[in-house]
Structure 1
Amino acid sequence: MRIVVTGTKGQVARALAETAPARGHEVVLLGRPALDLEDPAGTARAIAGARPVLVVSAAAFTGVDAAESAADVAFRVNGAGAGAVAAAAAALDVPLIHLSTDYVFSGEGDRPWREDDPIGPRSVYGASKAVGEAAVREAGANHAILRTAWVYAPFGHNFVRTMLRLAATREEIRVVADQIGAPTAAHDIAAGVITVAETLVRDPTAEKRGTFHMTAAGEASWADVAEAVFAESAARGGPSARVVRITTAEYPTPARRPAYSRLDCTKLASVHGVALRDWHESVGAVVARLLANPETSS
């Protein structure tokens, strides 16, 4: 299958490019200048020219804090841009997988969020992604929206890489301990996306379409993740540091972070047979790759 993915530098896009060939699929990554999500007509031309069997909408404005001062760009890219990608897929009559986020929820719950829970984003980034979800739904029925969270990989900008970098020069690192979520490896997301893609192409039934949650098994705070990263690194002779647990109030950011970001992934497992592995396993794999091949992890 020829899978066309929006974005060339994003963590999931790069993970798809590494993962899909082993599953017998071709991946075409589209990014600037060939594809600009702020140019709907150009987006349609680029996607049509790539001749997809399925489209994965992975490109996004992902700067959560930056979005607070660049709301117009965030909404053009994450909202209208996502709609343009979905419209292009609909015009070609091919399925679409759109990647979204836990930030569409308020983060004030005390149980994992389900797909049918009311959304209530508390940041510009979350609001722009919610608008993008709505645009995808309006563009056509042949889609699956996959919400994920706390994404990391051996490349790109993410928490795991930041912790290892800081541990190389610091003995002690202050990390927020009162935000709860499920750290999810980009390669695990990619594997799940491919399985969903295969289903969408071969199975036209409506139940395979709609909104699903896809995160790793288990839960953690950012401090828990940092401690796991350092333990895995130390076991392999890499850098480590002591974690000092702090509150969100002690680490203010321009954008409000969800306090509780766990997503209920029962529907995805039931409908598509996809259940991602426990986050501890994936953190270990990513740390091992980073320590073994740091030059390939930019």
Structure 2
Amino acid sequence: MELWFTEHHNDCIGYSLKVKRTLNSEETKYQKLDVIESEFYGRVLVLDGILQTTEKDEFVYHEMIVHVPLFTHKNPKNVLIVGGGDGGAVKEILKHDTVERIVLAEIDERVVENSKKYLPSISYGLNDKKVELMIGDGIKYVNEHKNEFDVVIVDSTDPIGPAVGLFTEDFYRSVYDCLRDDGIIVAQTESPFIYGNLINKLSKMFKKIYPIVKPYICTIPTYPGHLWTFTMGSKKYDPEAVDVNNIPEIETKYYTPELHKSSFVLPKFLKDIFEEA
């Protein structure tokens, strides 16, 4: 008998993966957590029935949420990740020699523990000496740390369950205060095909707070709608003004200096969503 995992959205669409076996399934303090081994995408982390990352395509999401802001900032030394307990963002940040300190604020320690055990190709950076692991409420952590970070990366799940508070204006204002005078925030802001209204709402919030607001995109095979957005809020640096000739060569599978520029070119319907905000 074949076993399939299906992720559902809006009670009308789904995305399915054929499963070889279930490696772990548990109810954590905050959410339902599953780690499965799929036929095509390798090992997969699932939270509350929503696919978070896979061994096969994780590099797309993690490279784009990390390298675009870090190569936009002139000298990123201190980086905060809110969420991101799988360690994928940490793995990419460690490729930047200027970074001296990485704080990972993850509310659910079981995400970290399962990722270390079952997803070592993604999570191995969590043991690096530059990484400070803070298990607890990322919103509370941001509120308690002012003018401390060069870049804040909001690597959250969908706006349900424990991640709801990471999609509010109060949180983005707190991040502004947490950033230094030339700081940058990047948040994953979902698929325009599934969450167009949310993207419009978030764009309005960002524009109230940050002088430079730039959305950018990539394509992620296992995320709903496939086309994915990130929103950058910057106090000083314009990501489209970066001289790509000065971007150093690092090991990537998706991100390139040319892609840094082109990721800010939006399809017409998506540009309309942001410009209406």
The structure that has the greater radius of gyration is 1
- Whose strand fraction is larger, Structure 1's or Structure 2's? 2
- The normalised TM-score by structure 1 is 0.30
- The normalised TM-score by structure 2 is 0.32
Larger RCO of the pair (alpha carbons < 8 Å, separation 6+): 1
